[in-house]
Amino acid sequence: MCRFLIYKGREPLLLAHLLTRPEHSIINQSYDSRLRIDTRRPINGDGFGVGYYTPEGDSELGDDPCVFCGTTPAWNNLNLARLAEKTKSSLVFAHVRASTAGILSESNCHPFEFHTLMFMHNGQIANFGRIKRKFVAHMQDKYFLFVQGGTDSEWAFALFLDCLDRLGVDPATHPGPTGFGQEVIRKAMLMTVGYIKDWGRSCGQGERDEPSLLNFAVTDGHSVVVTRYITSRTEEAASLHFSTGSKFIEYNPGQYRMERRDRRQDVVLVASEPLTFERNDWVTVPTNSILTIYNQKVLMHPIVDEYYQTDLSVPRSSNFAASRGLVSPIVEPQVHTNVELPPLEREGRRRLSVAV
């Protein structure tokens, strides 16, 4: 299935350092995923997309992201390689697609955009054909009409926009100098996950049915919110990792690592599959968690519902996600980085590795 990558930094980074130059860049992952187990769909060749924000304060460019998509395989698109060598940004979304719903077309390529917002998905909504009517009946006309393609992912984005609107935030308006706010974006994302989960269950989806894999990512150009979620108490979600440091550097041609000169988080990377093979560079996001990047701080919260495991010693099976090519067997390091948790979220949280 799909892979996605997020870069958020204090300084703009050349897209080539994310997309093309690393030996295990997201484009290389599209045809040579060393951690991929899926034998049914061994490559991510059903299109690609990269979205990025231009420098702030330029009224001519505006605040909307620039999104470039294509239906050709990412590794075979010369224009993408050219763009990556001449473009810098401090907030980048990149996605390579292996389709589970929707035909091969640019309208079905991630990331999707709506004014200042971008959204992408790694996974699948189980039994989407059976619950699609729920999406249509629930959302306002303006978000129903927004959908141009046929993917479950774009419908999930439309649902997110509707949830944001119901929380009193018009996603079509200018978000202001600090965005819409990480709290309201996180709340809208949790509402989106909740609706999809409840609709699946109302259509007869039970524990024995195929679960939904909902690794969603959304940004308003300021905050980034990402989920790692599965509608199961016994299975692992699709893989998700993050890395922070002072600089993402190329120390040998094609070989990168995260530099940490101090405890600052000038660079934050979130990826379905790590860009480096340095295990200490990456932390595994726990299953059924939501990660927020705000002011270069990484916040992590458990998603506490009927699929949340209160006993963290209970193992989850990776068989389902692995069969879909959505698990990368990276071991979480014991010492890595700062992860800030709000005081009210500390009780009952998952154990996270923290630098000492």
Active site positions, annotated: 2
Burial class (CB in 10 A: 0-12, 13-18, 19+), 163: buried
Query: 195, 212 in Cβ contact below 8 A?
Result: no
% helix / strand / coil in the chain, to the nearest 5?
A: 25, 25, 50
Q: Give bridge partners of residue 258 from the DSSP assignment.
A: 248
CA distance 202 to 196: 10
**On the CB side of 319, how many CA atoms lie within 13 Å of its CA?**
5
**b/e string for 255-289 if b means 16 or more Cβ within 10 A?**
ebbbebeeeebbbbbbbbbbbbeeeebbbbbbbbb
CA distance 93 to 15: 10
Where residue 238 falls (left for φ over 0; alpha for ψ -120 to 50; beta otherwise) is beta
DSSP string computed for 43-59: S--S-EEEEEPPPTT-T
Is residue 184 within a helix (H) or strand (E), and if so which, with residue range? helix 182-202
Residues 6+ apart with CB under 8 A from 56: 63
